[in-house]
Amino acid sequence: GAGVSQSPSNKVTEKGKDVELRCDPISGHTALYWYRQSLGQGLEFLIYFQGNSAPDKSGLPSDRFSAERTGGSVSTLTIQRTQQEDSAVYLCASSLIPGSSGRNQPQHFGDGTRLSIL
């Protein structure tokens, strides 16, 4: 399909291990967002990409979190030395650039990666 694709859908790993989450946005969508939802919390902004650059990474919770985007397409979110508090659903969304064509664009979300740290 032409939607946002995330992988893996579920990931269980031991505390201290590194994990890599992948997002494949809709073709042509220049804007890409990462969010997470911890149990009982709302959607928390992590990072925004415009093309390959990240003008806003203010939501990354610590230096254990990093993200990159290559070719203006696929993005990976890496969490190093995972902690139990990293357990959450990580969602990726893409859109046309906000405000492009004078209209604000809705975000299109993937199904998320459910990350569980033991």
Partner 1 sequence: ILNVEQSPQSLHVQEGDSTNFTCSFPSSNFYALHWYRWETAKSPEALFVMTLNGDEKKKGRISATLNTKEGYSYLYIKGSQPEDSATYLCAFYPGTYKYIFGTGTRLKVLA
Exactly one of 112, 113, 115, 117 binds partner 1 (CB under 8 A); which one?
112
Compute the least distance from the CB of residue 85 to partner 1, in Å.
Answer: 18
Q: Using the rule CB under 8 A, is 55 a contact of partner 1?
A: yes
Are residues 90 and 76 in contact, defined by beta-carbon separation less than 8 angstroms?
no
Which range in 11-19, 47-55, 65-73, 77-85 contacts partner 1 by CB under 8 A? 47-55
Size of residue set near partner 1 by CB under 8 A: 29
Q: Using the rule CB under 8 A, is 51 a contact of partner 1?
A: no
- How big, in percent rounded to 5, are the helix, strand and coil portions of the chain? 5, 45, 45
Amino acid at 89: V
Question: What distance in Å separates the CA atoms of residue 11 and residue 19, rounded to the nearest whole number?
Answer: 8
Residue 93 to residues 17, 62, 76, 86, 105, Cα–Cα distance (Å): 25, 21, 13, 19, 12
Q: Using the rule CB under 8 A, is 1 a contact of partner 1?
A: no
Q: Using the rule CB under 8 A, is 109 a contact of partner 1?
A: yes
Which range in 12-20, 69-77, 79-87, 104-112 contacts partner 1 by CB under 8 A? 104-112
